[in-house]
């Protein structure tokens, strides 16, 4: 697995430099469209995915490719996400931010086998920050091993991604969280949210939609750093599992505390 790291990072940085950043704040109106309500795609997403898919196929030809934009064009591709060895690609995470000319956004790559995430990489093309993790090998930021840390605030800091919830679900979780957490805005970018949970900037985050390109790399990164990211019932996140709902926290203690407040109470 270690032998994959340098080629994957080199590819991500090259695509960020050649494809993503030249389009940042430089998109024509006809180069941005909506795949669904509040779900954007740009020409940079499509070009980035093509370059990443080509490069990853060369690095590990025996692995399949599960890309966000390919799945948007052919949803049947996602059906095999939990089967066998697969590269999982988010060519630009936080496309809405990218399209509006604002940070954060990132490139996310994961390698999974039979639903288990083996490795994950998260690149911020603006700052160059690279987060990566390998199963059983810990988590790293810019080559330095990191451990997740709590913010230390009296009321844990929570960023709740409620925009893909139903109105009833949104009202329920916001009522539960009131006066129990310090609520902060979400970055609308999993490539930024997961590092925030490791770096002590946020303590808790809830995600409704759990597509593999958004969460395979991030859940591994948080868990390998000593944090905790699990399904709402406490089971592990697995690629190919189509259920909704994830709870992430900067420590197992905070995960249990958040679950008691946000999920388990009647």
CATH code at position 109 = 3.30.540.10
Share of the chain above pLDDT 70, in %: 98
Q: Is 49 annotated as a binding residue?
A: no
Region 156-182: what's the mean pLDDT? 88
Determine whether the annotation assigns residue 92 to a binding site: yes
Give the end of a domain, one of 146, 179, 207.
Answer: 146
Peptide bond between residue 104 and the one before it cis (omega within 30 degrees of 0): yes
**pLDDT band of 72, cuts 50, 70, 90:** very high
Amino acid 34: pLDDT: 79
The confidence band for 233, taking pLDDT boundaries of 50, 70 and 90, is very high
Q: Are residues 11 and 142 in the same domain?
A: yes
Alpha-carbon span 248 to 186, nearest angstrom: 13
Its sign, for the CA torsion 71, 18, 132, 135, is positive
How many domains is the chain partitioned into structurally?
2
Residue 18 counted as an annotated binding residue? no
pTM for the whole structure = 0.95
90 is in an annotated binding site: yes
CA–CA distance, 77 with 215 (Å, rounded to integer)? 17
pLDDT at 265: 64
Structure tokens at 130: 């690279």
Q: Residue 133 — pLDDT band, cuts 50, 70, 90?
A: very high
Q: Assess if residue 151 is contained within a domain.
A: no
3-52 confidence digits (pLDDT tens)? 899 999 999 999 999 999 999 999 998 999 877 766 789 999 999 999 99
**What is the span of the domain harbouring residue 179?**
157-264
Does 263 show up as a binding residue in the annotation? Answer: no
47/49 Cα distance (integer angstroms): 5
């Amino acid at each position: 697995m270690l032998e994959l790291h340098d080629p994957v990072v080199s590819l991500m940085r090259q695509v960020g430099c050649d494809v993503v950043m030249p389009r940042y704040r430089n998109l024509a109106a006809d180069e941005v469209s909506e795949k669904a309500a509040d779900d954007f795609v740009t020409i940079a997403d499509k070009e980035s995915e093509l370059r990443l898919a080509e490069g990853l196929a060369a690095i590990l030809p025996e692995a399949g490719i599960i890309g966000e934009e390919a799945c948007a064009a052919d949803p049947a591709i996602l059906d095999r996400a939990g089967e066998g060895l697969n590269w999982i690609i988010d060519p630009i995470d936080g496309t809405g931010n990218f399209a509006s000319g604002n940070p954060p956004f990132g490139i996310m790559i994961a390698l999974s086998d039979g639903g288990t995430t083996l490795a994950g990489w998260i690149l911020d093309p603006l700052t160059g920050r690279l987060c990566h993790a390998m199963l059983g090998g810990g988590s790293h930021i810019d080559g330095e091993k990191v451990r997740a840390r709590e913010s230390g605030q009296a009321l844990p800091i929570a960023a709740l991604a409620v925009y893909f919830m139903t109105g009833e679900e949104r009202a329920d979780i916001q009522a539960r969280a009131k006066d129990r957490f310090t609520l902060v805005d979400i970055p609308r970018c999993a490539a930024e949210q997961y590092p925030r949970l490791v770096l002590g900037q946020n303590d808790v985050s809830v995600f409704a939609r759990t597509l593999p390109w958004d969460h395979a790399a991030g859940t591994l990164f948080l868990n390998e750093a000593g944090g905790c990211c699990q399904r709402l019932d406490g089971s592990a996140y697995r690629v190919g599992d189509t259920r909704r709902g994830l709870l992430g926290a900067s420590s197992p203690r905070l995960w249990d505390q958040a679950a008691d407040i946000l999920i388990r109470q009647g």
